[in-house]
Amino acid sequence: MKRFGTVILCLMMSVTFIAQNKAQNPGVLFEEGAFAQALAKAKNNKKGPKIIFMDCYTTWCGPCKYMSEKIFPQELVGKFYNTNFVNIKMDMEKGEGIELAKKYEISAYPTFLILDADGNEINRIVGMGDADTFIEKTKKAMDPANNPKALKAKFESYKNMENAITYLEALKASSLNKEADIFIEEIFSIMPPREKYSDKMWPYLSHSLQNANSNVFKMVLAEKPLADKIAYKERVDIAICSAIKNLIGNYTSGKIKEADHNAIMDQVNYLNLLSGNDETASYFVNAARFYGENDMDGVAGILKVDDIMRMGENNRNTIERLLTSVNGLPKDKVLEYFKAKQEYLKKQSEQISANIKRLSN
């Protein structure tokens, strides 16, 4: 009897400890152990939950830390996720997280996967949010009818603008940008002009236009007068110029293997025509020209502190990144620029100090 009483006492203490632990940690309770264990728990839960919520994070990700420190510890968040999911956290750069990142094609952080008990993706949520907003996003993502595959199937069964936008919204929310670009290309030639250049479609189309080698980019150029009329010339020009700048940046940094200099310069010359008052355009044009001619002295010649420092901060940073990353530019030329910039800023600081002293007297 004495032994039986001891067992009962231990069980009571264990239950009390668990209750105290939950009281001290009212937020989301994440499972310890391997991914397979979380799957097994979801599969074997008779009363549920039957699905998994996986926090895919990295140690350097600020928004990941925000969610872990500010959102998941909240009681209302814990109540929702602990009731509906088997929760697990995985560092995507360590251990089995590396393979999981590849398997689920995680490219942005934080990403939160909703999986069935077999590990099949139901949906995903990308990015941080406040407690109420994040819970609402999760509720929507829990419904298989709202996942990108289901929405793509819905579009295929009834190809209209509304279904196309709904699918693109789901892809954007999941940071599936490559899939969005592929879809835009698929539907671009069959969409009526007033739909494909509409305000609703433009955010997705303009993203696809960022690649000057894409078929969408070529199709827009082929019918640019029509695009200008419906989508407004100014924003079409801005999107095209941005794409050409991306092309030049990749070209001059050596990222484009076996590049055709003449074909790239054809695109570059288009930048001259459309750039208008863009003070960075001439730098991109000259950088491409000098790089194609293997003229590193020419590149160094436009890397001038006095000219670049007169620009606004965003433009200055853009040009610095472009020119200092030119493939083949000697390091001493880059070092020379930054030393000159340091001296320029020192003189500027001294001038400011002198003005403050003068006005204070």
**Cα–Cα distance for residue pair 30/12, rounded to 1 Å:** 24
* β-pair partners for 87: 30, 53
Strands 121-126 and 85-91: unpaired
- Preceding omega of 193 cis (within 30 degrees of 0): no
Give the active site residue among 10, 56, 61, 241.
61
Q: Within a 10 A sphere around the Cβ of 322, how many other Cβ atoms? A: 22
Tokens of 197: 């250049």
**Cα–Cα distance for residue pair 341/138, rounded to 1 Å:** 49
Find out whether 269 and 249 touch, Cβ atoms under 8 Å.
no
- 46 exposure class (CB count in 10 Å sphere: 0-12, 13-18, 19+): exposed
Find out whether 38 and 86 touch, Cβ atoms under 8 Å.
yes
- Which amino acid, one-letter code, is at 251? Y
3-state SS, one letter per residue, for 178-235: HHHHHHHHHHHCCCCHHHHCCCCCHHHHHHHCCCCCCHHHHHHHHCHHHHHHHHCHHH
Is 64 annotated as catalytic? yes
* β-pair partners for 126: 111
Find out whether 206 and 235 touch, Cβ atoms under 8 Å.
yes
Give the active site residue among 10, 56, 64, 241.
64
Find out whether 184 and 171 touch, Cβ atoms under 8 Å.
no
* Enzyme catalytic residues: 61, 64
